[in-house]
Structure 1
Amino acid sequence: MAKPLIGITTSLFLTEGGIMNGTKRQFVSDAYIQAVLCAGGVPVLLPIIAEQAAIVEQIAAVDGLLLSGGGDIQPQIFGEEPMRGLGTVLPERDTHELELVKLALASGKPVLGICRGCQLLNVALGGSIDQHLTEATVQHDQQSPGDYAGHTVILEHDSRLAGIWGDTVMTNSFHHQAIKAVAPGLWITARAKDGVIEAVEHETAPFAVGVQWHPELMIYKNPAMLALFTAFVNTANRK
């Protein structure tokens, strides 16, 4: 059986200086690629594009969708104006990824959202985002190395995530936003001790999970984190 192809979303930036000054480049952290490989999948990067027909082909070509982390989501998408603390947004990325999620879920393909990807999954289904955490008491934007587990996450006992890790798991944390109103069809399956939502799962999809932390950065220091990617990739097995 061929290994499943896992599409990983990308971000973009403008180069500065030299002959490539002002050139758009698309990229993704190598940690996502390595996590998919270690879990038994074949990573395929999905560049940001606008053509609808091509986006449909992107999803048709892969067996699962991994929504990577990155910048903030445009608040207008979930019916709000920008508030103090909102960071950099990338409208073309938002538009692309919202369509990818809808197509993936409609075709029954598994979706895993990480950090921004968790929030994007929620927004795609009609939820909203807290644009800047002000009431949180736990440190959610740690300055420590990426593979350091900074705080505790409490898991719902009957969730897919609890089936992987049990009642609690120690995670890293690099975000200043979080899910606010949970979208129809999703349910909260993990929280930090200050109540901030740390994970959601789809109620009926074969696999649609969003986690607010970055497990891809922890798979070598804490191999148990690889189990999430393995569950995701196994759901995406090619026929």
Structure 2
Amino acid sequence: MDAPVVGLTTYRQHAAWGVWRTTADLLPTEYAASVEAAGGVPLLLPPVATPGAASRVVARIDALVVAGGADVDPSRYGAEPHPRTAGWQPERDAWELALLAAADDADLPVLGICRGMQLMAVHGGGTLDQHTPDLVGHETHSPGGDAYGTVAVATTEGSRLAGLVGPEVEVSCHHHQSVATHPGFEAVAHAADGTLEAMEAPGERWCLAVQWHPETRVEIGLMAGLVAAARLRAGRTAS
């Protein structure tokens, strides 16, 4: 069977390369590389405002990854901004929420990463803790700058996640926010400080989200699971 196509949402922001200094649609290479390593074909999905675009895109891909990035607009979950909440991008929020809605309608496999997990919770009617250090008393989950925090995570026995990565896993984190409530999802992993580190939808559909960045490590389990689910769905759709 042909390799399944995995859509990856992207940033849209000012960037610099070569002689250019301009707004760009971009994503760290590790995302696409991890999809390819797992046997999928990565396809970048920059924000689009055209009505109906999300449904058309979802009809043409076999799985969706909602990538990391800026904070989610607090108004999306009925909150005022915390002093440390900044940089939200309404056009990206709108695009990714539309993709998630279309993915729900199509029963598409979905993986949320960091911000992606937070947006999936908000899409389901949940809320976020806007500054996790206020709750846990330390900055381990996001040490600052471009440094990732190293966090030990315990998964829930019998969960889809545990089947992919095992009962415990050391992960790379870069988040100052975290999921507070998550209607429609089950909590399936926590850090020692109690921070929710993963959630998944119950039932047969492959719909999972992690607060960490699996693309930054040789952690093929999650992407392999997503690509396997995408391949299975593509086979059913083609038959």
**TM-score if structure 1 supplies the norm length?**
0.90
Task: Tell me how far 1:54 sits from its aligned partner.
Answer: 1.9
Q: 1:3 to 1:131 in 2, by over 3 A?
A: same
Task: Tell me how far 1:136 sits from its aligned partner.
Answer: 1.3
Tell me the distance in 2 between the aligned counterparts of 1:110 and 1:16. Answer: 33
Tell me the distance in 2 between the aligned counterparts of 1:81 and 1:37. Answer: 40
Q: What secondary structure does 1:82 align onto?
A: coil
Q: Report whether the alignment pairs 1:2 with 2:2.
A: yes
Task: Tell me how far 1:94 sits from its aligned partner.
Answer: 0.2
Q: What secondary structure does 2:136 align onto?
A: coil
2:141 aligned residue: 140
Q: 1:91 to 1:235 in 2, by over 3 A?
A: same
Q: 1:84 to 1:109 in 2, by over 3 A?
A: same
Task: Tell me how far 1:52 sits from its aligned partner.
Answer: 2.0
Task: Tell me how far 1:149 sits from its aligned partner.
Answer: 7.1
Q: Report whether the alignment pairs 1:232 with 2:226.
A: yes
Q: 1:24 to 1:35 in 2, by over 3 A?
A: same
Q: Judge conservation of contact 1:142–1:173 (CA < 8 Å) in 2.
A: no
Identity %: 36
Tell me the distance in 2 between the aligned counterparts of 1:168 and 1:68. Answer: 23
Q: Which runs of 5+ in 2 are unaligned?
A: none
2:111 aligned residue: 112
Please show how residues 56-205 of structure 1 align to structure 2 within 5 Å.
56-133=55-132, 134-137=134-137, 139-142=140-143, 150-183=150-183, 185-204=184-203
Counterpart code for 1:9: T
What does the per-residue CA deviation read over 1:181-231, in whole Å, with 9 as the maximum and x for residues that have no partner?
122x10100011111100000013511100000010001xxxxx1111001
Q: What secondary structure does 1:235 align onto?
A: helix
Q: Which runs of 5+ in 1 are unaligned?
A: 220-224
Q: What secondary structure does 1:52 align onto?
A: coil
Counterpart code for 2:45: L
Counterpart code for 2:124: L
Q: Judge conservation of contact 1:149–1:170 (CA < 8 Å) in 2.
A: no
Off by >6 Å, runs of 4+ in structure 1: 16-19
Task: Tell me how far 1:15 sits from its aligned partner.
Answer: 4.7
What does the per-residue CA deviation read over 1:114-143, in whole Å, with 9 as the maximum and x for residues that have no partner?
000111111111111111111214511135
Q: Judge conservation of contact 1:13–1:25 (CA < 8 Å) in 2.
A: yes
Q: Judge conservation of contact 2:143–2:149 (CA < 8 Å) in 1.
A: no
Q: 1:157 to 1:186 in 2, by over 3 A?
A: same
**TM-score if structure 2 supplies the norm length?**
0.90
Q: Judge conservation of contact 1:105–1:205 (CA < 8 Å) in 2.
A: no
Tell me the distance in 1 between the aligned counterparts of 2:186 and 2:79. Answer: 22
Tell me the distance in 2 between the aligned counterparts of 1:151 and 1:20. Answer: 37
Q: What secondary structure does 1:61 align onto?
A: coil
Task: Tell me how far 1:19 sits from its aligned partner.
Answer: 8.5
Counterpart code for 2:226: F
Q: What value does the CA root-mean-square deviation take over the aligned residues? A: 2.1
Higher strand proportion, which one?
2
Q: What secondary structure does 2:209 align onto?
A: strand
Counterpart code for 1:87: A
